Amino acid sequence: MKLSHQYRGMTLVEMVISIVLISIAVTAVLSAFSTSMGRSSDPLWKNKSLKLAQLYLDEILSKKYDASTPLGGIPASTSISCDVPFAGGNRGLFDNVDDFNGVDDSPPALVTGALSDYTGYRVQVLVTCAGSEVGVANNNAKRITVTVTPPNQPPMPFSVYRGNF
């Protein structure tokens, strides 16, 4: 009985070439997968940093523009000082954005106390007059920069402007 050529199996050379090609494809897929898995925690610490900065900015922006700003903000304060260093003290007594200038918390804490989910994080706050950056008199706008440093990661600065109103 003679077998026809159409039922012939793979040769050894064809088998080796197939194995090599499949190995290359599997290696490429695994390499791409391992690279993405190595960075899978990036969104987590970036998200936590963003949330932490937002917590601080919400607290700061809820305060008056300046110590001389009347309740309600009207009329706008005219005797504004931008060179007020951080004096420390009880955050519950902070009543204007300048009081936060120089805050350096590690671990981060709000007025209500420490934040347990942020062990190893550091938060720094800088408040400067920056009206000239937004086209108004220099003392009529302040730039508030909250810099969050996650554990073993580069610092992430977040800035907002607060107007004298």
Q: Are residues 97 and 29 in the same domain?
A: no
Residue 115: what pLDDT? 82
Residue 123: what pLDDT? 95
For residue 154, whether the previous peptide bond is cis, meaning omega lies within 30 degrees of 0, is no
Residue 5: what pLDDT? 60
Look up the domain containing 30 and give its range.
Answer: 11-38
Alpha-carbon span 74 to 52, nearest angstrom: 31
Q: What is the CA radius of gyration of the chain?
A: 29
- Is residue 18, in this structure, part of any structural domain at all? yes
Q: In this structure, what token pair is assigned to residue 27?
A: 């290696």
Q: Are residues 107 and 27 in the same domain?
A: no
- Is residue 1, in this structure, part of any structural domain at all? no
Per-residue pLDDT of 109-133, as tens digits, reads 888 877 888 889 999 999 888 777 7
Q: Are residues 48 and 113 in the same domain?
A: yes
Residue 136: what pLDDT? 76
Low-confidence ranges of the chain (pLDDT < 50): none
Residue 37: what pLDDT? 66
Q: Are residues 21 and 99 in the same domain?
A: no
Q: Are residues 17 and 92 in the same domain?
A: no
Q: Are residues 31 and 75 in the same domain?
A: no
Q: In this structure, what token pair is assigned to residue 127?
A: 């408040």
The model's pTM: 0.70
- Is residue 75, in this structure, part of any structural domain at all? yes
Q: Are residues 32 and 50 in the same domain?
A: no
Alpha-carbon span 130 to 33, nearest angstrom: 46
Q: Are residues 26 and 77 in the same domain?
A: no
Q: Are residues 32 and 80 in the same domain?
A: no
- Is residue 69, in this structure, part of any structural domain at all? yes
- Is residue 87, in this structure, part of any structural domain at all? yes
- Is residue 2, in this structure, part of any structural domain at all? no
Q: Are residues 18 and 74 in the same domain?
A: no
Total domains in the chain come to 2
Q: Are residues 105 and 133 in the same domain?
A: yes
3-state secondary structure at position 25? helix
- Is residue 6, in this structure, part of any structural domain at all? no
